[in-house]
Amino acid sequence: MLQNLQVEGREISQDYSYEWVMGYPELASIEKGIPITEFSDQIQSRDQEMEFRILRRLTETQYHNDNLYDFHPDILKLNRYNNIIPFKHSIVKLRCDEEENQRESYINADYINLINGKEKMMIATQGPVTQTIGHFWRMISQESASMIVMLCNLKENGKVQCEQYWPRNIGDNLLIGNITINFVSQEDLGNNIIKRTLKMQEQNGEEKQVTHLQWCGWPDQGVPNHNDFNTIKELLTQILDRVLNDQKVVFHCSAGVGRTGTLISLANLMIILTMYQSYVGNDIAKISENPEEFRISIFGVVRRLREQRWGMVHTSEQYQYVYKFIDEAIKYMFSQQQ
């Protein structure tokens, strides 16, 4: 069970930065997982801001730049931000009738692998622009995504973060190409989380239900409030319930790297804790008896995520938030076992 977990090591799809990690013992020691029984104590002595600077140097190289999707004038307006581009090896390619049609096959989105070895179970993408609403829904249909997690408001501080890509009112339909989106219901889950149920009907009559979770409380370029621990935990519970049961989840904020990257990092890290908890059951002593078997590496998870989409976990503050959240999650896990 635990042998499938990748605490440290090479990202399975592609990993330029791993060569540097393996070449320098100091980097390998930063990537090495911390036993969860020692996590709170050890992170006090770690320079997390320096770690993030190292991550940027390792994952924003010329090799990574050369691996960005090739520029083409037809796709320029399909990007919300022209400095956030998918990687060639992980880009989601949309199926279309004309194989060489750059505009119709392109979407600013990357596949993300789970830490337990399951590939392409998550997708990180930008908030749709007007020209890509159709592309977005084609991707949801093509990938059979069962959930969309939206981590922004449509507009923040007077700036458009994302175009509205679902119908405006409950009961309304939105026709996008050959796909009809029906707004079935909406529920306020509290703590600024809105849950929408959308029904997608394709030209052949096939129907798919999609859950749309929007959390409106996460500021752009920032981190959640300390009091939002339970809110994030609830989001992650719903996400893990999907991806661990082979249902794809699509994540987006505005650029699809900051808030999106932070939550995806947390999702992968919580998969580790969930598997550890399942493995030991009520016998929490197993963890203390074999601490090296139950490790977690924030640096390793974020580094590998940045090998799958450019700039994921975009700021040092977001990187440090991942540490803080996982510290709280580990404490919570142990408190439940007492």
Report all structural domains of the chain as residue ranges with CATH numbers, in order of start.
17-331 (3.90.190.10)
User: What's the confidence (pLDDT) of residue 99?
Assistant: 62
pLDDT, tens only, 278-295: 999 878 888 989 999 999
User: What's the confidence (pLDDT) of residue 101?
Assistant: 82
Mean per-residue pLDDT over the chain, rounded: 95
Task: Tell me the percentage of the chain whose pLDDT exceeds 70.
Answer: 99
pLDDT, tens only, 171-211: 999 999 999 999 999 999 988 999 999 999 998 889 999 99
User: What's the farthest any 2 CA atoms get from each other in the chain?
Assistant: 60
3-state SS assignment for residue 76: helix
User: What's the confidence (pLDDT) of residue 221?
Assistant: 82
- Over residues 219-246, the mean pLDDT reads 94
Better pLDDT: 100 or 11: 11
E strands, the chain, in order = 34-35, 109-112, 122-125, 147-150, 155-156, 159-160, 173-176, 179-190, 193-201, 207-215, 249-252, 295-296
- Over residues 248-276, the mean pLDDT reads 98
Q: Would you tell me the crossing angle of helices 229-243 and 316-337 to the nearest 10 degrees? A: 80
Is the pLDDT at 98 greater than 80, yes or no?
no
User: What's the confidence (pLDDT) of residue 338?
Assistant: 62
- Report yes or no: 105 and 232 within 8 Å, Cβ to Cβ: no
118 DSSP assignment: -
Best CA proximity match to 320, nearest among 298, 297, 294, 295: 298
Residue 100: pLDDT band (50, 70, 90) is low
Rounded CA Rg of the chain: 20
Region of residue 322 (left: phi > 0; alpha: psi -120 to 50; beta: else): alpha
User: What's the confidence (pLDDT) of residue 6?
Assistant: 87
pLDDT, tens only, 29-49: 999 999 999 999 999 999 999
Q: How many CB atoms lie within 10 A of CB 312?
A: 26
Enter the tokens of residue 128.
């749709």
Q: Give 13's strand partners.
A: none
Residue 163: exposure state from Cβ atoms within 10 A (0-12, 13-18, ≥19) = middle
The kind and range of the H/E element at 289 are helix 285-289
